[in-house]
Structure 1
């Protein structure tokens, strides 16, 4: 995208001055106005992909990226993607592709309301794997501190129903209750505090899932143990457009509960280790 725009800009630069020239006062006035549409994005490499505390890559590395197009009046659309466990667990391309649309608006001094929907897509996976999840977020900033409270509710749908009674059945691909539907509610809070005079921002997160109690088609799951807490503590270190993040991530999912997930979420269905246990997560993100 950058190269393409650079070529266009270079082509315009060599055109005769009168061809596309505007009055000086018009150009100055335009420069003072914010752009109607902005495009932003990022790419990242992470030591693990933890979705609400549960590893989606069997504690292995993930490559992730996204792009968002936003209008100055509030609406936005975006797409975000990450690799998943690479042995066919999720079917198809072993890829999560999130399609996002929403509306963001200021509701007071330092406060922003964000309402939208995420459509989770697993390209090439089972026909009933994809699911929708509306969300709402309220963010407030005062000085160096930012606090966010959010709720995401996935209504009853097959993708998050309990299709398997146990992990072994999921690994074998034998449905116990094909077509089962369930819903899920996720509540969370985030906090960030910029450390004055440094490129460091301290961060904290806590979330609670309640609803889905099992693995859906192709072993997808939002809250695979029914209800649980996840949390993290960490820090961002920023340098220009790069951000290095180091955080401690954990859940209250027991090893016994996690064993239900292992045949579907861990490499080779080996069931070794817990994909919901404590870990130190590192990532490097480049924004553009």
Structure 2
């Protein structure tokens, strides 16, 4: 049974200097808030996690909210509707709770934290588990490159085993347009329900188009999981297929 890793995003504020003669009212206008709260809500035609469908190729409604301290610390929650998870019972809903810290070291952005996966109302076994994550990202010319790792130690929700996911991503804005090209190559290993066959690779090629606070996305995803391995692991569709998404950014 496959699980989600959410795509984490957070921003933080740096303190601004205030003129000595500024009044309390004007100072409040100049200084940014200590904590910034943002979020998103959207729909995707197929909820794909690391190349495998968790919505059984059906649409999924998704939302998130994150609070970020100007120091770089953040915490948030993401929700995803699932489909075809009869063995989980409950509401066919995934909730991801996460907390981490993001900081710039020269041109490199370092991000690390913990993520907890919960399935409200699930029955028939233990499915919840914890995953640690870390990433390094930097600008390379007009593009942004990112290397990331996510590790789940042995625990009941993974049949007593652990899982390691490694990925490389790149985002390339198209000059003078609101479009961005994106690509990802990932590798998942470990004898757990997360990894049919014990090891597989996945990929994504797509593009985003921003219209104000709304982002339209299109992508093609796939894996090298053999059909027999997918059936043996009870994995959802893992073949190459397109997905479309519509996401609106929220500010509070």
Question: Partner residue of 2:91?
Answer: 93
The answer to which structure has the higher helix fraction is: 1
Alpha carbons 2:196, 2:225 under 8 Å: kept: no
Match of 1:268 in 2: none
Residue 204 (1) aligns with residue 183 (2): yes
CA contact (8 A) 2:56 2:84 kept: no
Does residue 120 in structure 1 map to residue 82 in structure 2? no
Deviations 1:21-61 (A, max 9, x none): xx963333333323210001001100000111010111111
Q: Which of 194, 198, 204 matches 1:232?
A: 204
Q: Give deviations 1:95-123, integer Å, cap 9, x for gaps.
A: 110001111111113x2111101100011
For structure 1, list consecutive stretches of 5 or more residues without a partner in the other structure.
Answer: 1-22, 162-180, 214-220, 266-274
Q: Structure 1: which 4+ aligned runs deviate by more than 3 Å?
A: none
SS at match of 2:40: strand
- Gap regions ≥5 residues in structure 2: 1-20
CA RMSD after TM alignment: 1.7
After TM superposition, the structure 1 stretch with the greater mean CA deviation from structure 2, 60-69 or 222-231, is 222-231
Where 1:198 maps in the other structure, the secondary structure is: coil
> So what's the TM-score if we normalise by structure 1?
0.76
* Alignment coverage as a number of residue pairs: 229
Deviates more, 1:140-149 or 1:36-45: 140-149
For the pair shown, the structure with the greater C-alpha radius of gyration is 1
* TM-score (normalizing by structure 2): 0.86
Q: How does 1:140-159 map to 2 (within 5 A)?
A: 140-159=138-157
Using the TM superposition, give the Cα deviation of residue 87 of structure 1 relative to its aligned residue in structure 2, in angstroms: 5.4
Q: Does the Cα contact within 8 Å between 1:185 and 1:210 map onto a contact in 2?
A: yes
- Alignment correspondent of 1:16: none
